[in-house]
Structure 1
């Protein structure tokens, strides 16, 4: 339920390698409509600027784009979505133990985790 593919790699996959193939075990394809949290602006802070940057107060609301729970099915979502729904959903998983390329960009993970 993410907008990008999730690449799952073997435990022994090395970081710092740009080639996406070594150790690749599975690719979870992206969703056209990923799960997201609504964001509602509750106004600009009184100070209005921090170091010259406008700062708004944001309230994160309900998740949308997420199917109803089904027995035996888990959904891979972003960490913010999973954290927002901890008390309500036990079927949400997030990428864990990131794999990074030579420039330090996350290209996948070695496992999935269930936030509690």
Structure 2
């Protein structure tokens, strides 16, 4: 069993779905959908100040420094279930074999991620 720890579902596409799925391939390629569980495993975010200002294609854009705290709301490791978590949470929990992150993403014609074809883990760093 996979427990989804974010507020949106994860759609799992068949392995033969292309990275850029369009038209009929979007609904037809879905082989499973994992709905949100209501749990919200994540890293605590600390306030960020404006940081440095850099010159980019638009004039003077602030670049705030993100700071993250402790991992929140991820239960202790157990043989079951698996937890589908964001990539940053997966990195913070490196070495835990019970958390998964979406991998091999599928995008729609506008470039928005609509699902994945696999899950991945991150071993000990």
Q: For this structure pair, what is the TM-score category when the shorter chain's length is used for normalisation?
A: 0.7 to 0.9
Runs of 4 or more consecutive aligned structure 1 residues displaced over 3 Å after TM superposition: 41-45
Task: Find the counterpart in structure 2 of residue 91 from structure 1.
Answer: 98
Alignment deviations for residues 81-112 of structure 1 (CA, whole Å, 9 cap, x no partner): 0001104x221101010111112211000011
Does 2:110 align with 1:100?
no
Report the aligned-residue RMSD. Answer: 1.9
Question: How many aligned positions are there?
Answer: 113
Whichever structure has more strand as a proportion of its residues is: 1
Structure 1 unaligned blocks of 5 or more: none
Task: Find the counterpart in structure 1 of residue 29 from structure 2.
Answer: 23
Structure 2 unaligned blocks of 5 or more: none
TM-score by length of 1: 0.82
TM-score by length of 2: 0.77
User: 8 Å contact 1:36–1:63 — kept in the other structure?
Assistant: yes
Moved more, 33-42 or 91-100: 33-42
Task: Find the counterpart in structure 2 of residue 65 from structure 1.
Answer: 73
Residue of 89, 109, 113 corresponding to 2:116: 109
Looking at structure 2, the residues matched to 109 and 57 of structure 1 have their Cα atoms a distance apart, in angstroms, of 29
Task: Find the counterpart in structure 1 of residue 54 from structure 2.
Answer: 50
Alignment deviations for residues 39-80 of structure 1 (CA, whole Å, 9 cap, x no partner): 2236554xx422322233332111112222222321110000
